[in-house]
Amino acid sequence: MEPILPFITAGDPDLAALPGLLAAFAALGVGTLELGLAHSDPVADGPVLQAAAQRALAGGAAPRRVLETLAQGGPSPDLVLFTYFNPLLQLGADLLPLLRRTPVKALLVVDLPAGEEPEWEAGLRAAGYPIVPLLSPTTPPERAVRLLAARPDPGPGHPFAQRFAYVVARLGVTGDGQAPLLAPVQARLQALRRHTDRPLAVGFGLDHPDLLAQVRAMGATPVIGSALVQALHDGRTVAEFIGPRLG
Answer for the pair 237, 17: CB distance below 8 angstroms, yes or no. no
Q: How far apart are CA 216 and CA 37, in angstroms?
A: 27
Q: Which of 12, 34, 78, 121 is catalytic?
A: 34
The distance from CA 137 to its chain's CA centroid, rounded to whole angstroms, is 18
Active site residue 14: no
β-sheet bridge partners, residue 109: 83
Active site residue 45: yes
Q: Cβ–Cβ contacts within 10 Å for residue 134, how many? A: 20
| DSSP conformation class of 234 | T
CA atoms 2, 200, 153, 135: torsion sign: negative
Q: Which of 2, 12, 45, 121 is catalytic?
A: 45
Q: How many CA atoms lie within 13 A of 133 on its CB side?
A: 22
> Cα–Cα distances in Å, from 110 out to 11, 58, 72?
19, 22, 26
Q: How far apart are CA 19 and CA 33, in angstroms?
A: 13
Catalytically active residues, by annotation: 34, 45
